[in-house]
Amino acid sequence: MHYRLSGGWDRTLKLWDVAGGKAIRTFQGHLSAVWSVAFSPDGRSVLSGGWDNTLKLWDATSDRAIRTFEQHSRGVSSVAFAPDGRTMLSGSHDNTLKLWDIASDLEIRTFQGHSAMINDIVFSPDGGTVLSGSRDNTLKLWNVANGEAIRTLEGHSRGVTSVAFSPDGQRAASGDWDGVMILWGAE
């Protein structure tokens, strides 16, 4: 079976059976709209980010929230699991990214450098770097180990809405509010 996740204005996230086209599980617990959702690499956990300034870790086999993380001061707009499944990342309208240790429930570090809200985040395939896209029209490539910005990528004239790495991690793609997509090389 193939599954997908969705988050909505109704404060829920839903697990969908793609073949059947039906929601098979509804997760409730956010106090406001759910902006971002992600599966863990092993598929056993689900992560959600909400306009209520929280991210929640869920058991994918039930509708039970395992943990709630509340350190952002504004809505959580993007969430991602590291490829190894041991850490997770959140991007927020408070202009920061936060790296979390799943086993200890602790915030490892905060990434600061964008001047506007974070719209999207993604780990590189090896988990060593993170790419963020912001309403400040830039992307930033971050070192996960120390939280420092390695590089700022400029080229969009509107807010960056989507970011992705190629499977080998050597290229990245970004899209913006105007529908412009840019492909970035390793140089």
| pTM, two decimal places | 0.91
Total number of domains in the chain: 1
**Residue 85's domain is classified under what CATH number?**
2.130.10.10
Average pLDDT taken over every residue of the chain: 94
Where residue 187 falls among pLDDT bands split at 50, 70, 90? low
Q: Has residue 157 been placed in a domain?
A: yes
In this model, does residue 6 exceed pLDDT 80? yes
CB 86 within 8 Å of CB 100: no
Q: Has residue 18 been placed in a domain?
A: no
Residue range 21-39: mean pLDDT, rounded = 94
In terms of residue numbers, what domain contains 115? 34-184
Q: Has residue 7 been placed in a domain?
A: no
Q: Has residue 172 been placed in a domain?
A: yes
Identify the pLDDT of residue 186.
65
**29 Cβ contact partners less than 8 Å away, ≥ 6 residues apart:** 56, 65, 68
CB 34 within 8 Å of CB 16: no
Q: Has residue 59 been placed in a domain?
A: yes
Residue range 151-160: mean pLDDT, rounded = 95
Identify the pLDDT of residue 1.
61
Nearest CA among 95, 134, 88 for reference residue 112:
95
Q: Has residue 22 been placed in a domain?
A: no
CA distance 124 to 59: 25
Residue range 124-144: mean pLDDT, rounded = 97
Question: What angle is formed at CA 41 by the lines to CA 143 and CA 47, rounded to 5 degrees?
Answer: 80
Q: Has residue 122 been placed in a domain?
A: yes
